Amino acid sequence: MAISVTLPSLGESVTEGTVTRWLKQPGEHVQEDEPLLEVSTDKVDTEIPAPATGVLLTIVVGEDETVEVGAELAVIGPPDAEPSAATAVTAAPAAPVTAPQPAPSSAPVAQPTAAAPMTHPAPAAAHAPMPAPAAAPAPRPMPAAAPPTAALRGHTAAVPRLRKAVGDSLKQALLEQAQLTSTVEADATGLLRLWRRTADGYMAREGFALTPLPFFVLAAAQALKAHPVINARIDAGGATITYYDIANVGITVDTYQGPVTPVVRGAGDLTVSGIARAVHDLTDHALAGRLTPADVAGATFTVSDTGTRGALFDTLIVPPHQAAILGVGAAVRRPAVVQDGDEEFIGVRELVHVSLSYDHRLVDGADAARYLTTVKKIVEAAAFEDIL
């Protein structure tokens, strides 16, 4: 009895996927749950397992073809089916990279690096902000390193699938939402002192580096409890609004193949250490190409560390089906007014711009200001030591 292989649901709001690579060819035997093909969406690249043991008879959808969820991808026959019964691959060959084109002038393109939380000076014995993931027995190879700048200059190449998918999704979000951005400046001196003071011990205890990002993720998630309008979405058709009772916070990770946003679930109910572990594991999986649809599904809010490469702030695009996204800028040391009771003085502080891009259909400017003020208070209080 022949069994149809269909494109499964790959997460909320994902309606289609692109076949990127077939791992088996017609005539080959496959085992149930064995990886059969790879599929790319605007959220994640993932493997589709074989639904049964047997012989791959027919490939219906070729590489680089895009189909909707539920579409037939292939047909698997019984284990005793003759390989000769299998049909030839119907896949069209992948679109080749175009021949190099001379360019009169081209700005240097920075080589992508792994996304890591804020670029603050690390403690003396601490490692880099986000350690490179260790090699893992993943079914797919590690993403290839980005070509050096010299190899990119003067060339024309096909748009990577992930970049195109993410770009199309964000463009659609801009077309559907009324987006704007508000920004406050927070004094993160106390928070960063706490981070530096605890980073060495944390590394020795947990085996990976503690970075400032989990502190900001927790501050953002805690503030959502007091401002539910920020942790919401307009449902399809714009007739109703859903206010979430949990903060599932997406974190943006810059991979060699494009940005992905895995999700820290229940971030508002975790400690800094719990968020740090989740961020570390999800980033590891993202850089190794091992994120699953479950890893990137269900975000109710997103935090983006725009200061990783030194940016002060950014006007971020609100992801689809969310009300807002928080951007954390680079910490900058400069003179500022410090208040101690009734006294004021000038001191050297580490100041961070915290920006909220939001959908004005859901969130008013006053709502955004109130939320940012709460985040600022949590950051400046730096009362995280007891929940590390």
Q: Of 45, 120, 364, 386, which one is the catalytic site residue?
A: 364
Q: What is the DSSP string of 145-187?
A: PPPPHHHHTT---PPPHHHHHHHHHHHHHHHHS-EEEEEEEEE
Give the whole-angstrom CA distance, residue 177 versus residue 322. Answer: 10
Pairing of strands 301-304, 249-251: parallel
Contact 24, 5 (CB under 8 A): no
Pairing of strands 179-187, 54-59: unpaired
Give the residue from 93, 114, 106, 365 showing the smallest Cα distance to 229: 365
Question: Helices 365-381 & 213-226, crossing angle to 10 degrees?
Answer: 130
CA trace torsion 375, 377, 380, 384 (10° rounding) = -70
Q: What is the Cβ-side half-sphere exposure of residue 104, based on CA atoms within 13 angstroms? A: 0
Contact 39, 14 (CB under 8 A): no
Q: Catalytic site residue 280?
A: no
Q: With H, G, I as helix, E, B as strand and everything else as coil, classify residue 170.
A: helix
Q: Quickly count: other Cβ atoms within 10 Å of residue 343's Cβ.
A: 7
Give the whole-angstrom CA distance, residue 224 versus residue 323. Answer: 11
The pair of structure tokens assigned to 136 is 């893992």
Contact 369, 230 (CB under 8 A): no
Q: Of 33, 360, 367, 386, which one is the catalytic site residue?
A: 360
Give the whole-angstrom CA distance, residue 354 versus residue 57. Answer: 55
Q: Catalytic site residue 364?
A: yes
Give the whole-angstrom CA distance, residue 276 versus residue 270. Answer: 10
Contact 194, 212 (CB under 8 A): no
Give the whole-angstrom CA distance, residue 298 versus residue 244. Answer: 11
Residue with tokens 């895995």: 262
Q: With H, G, I as helix, E, B as strand and everything else as coil, classify residue 65.
A: coil
Q: Catalogue the active-site residues.
A: 360, 364
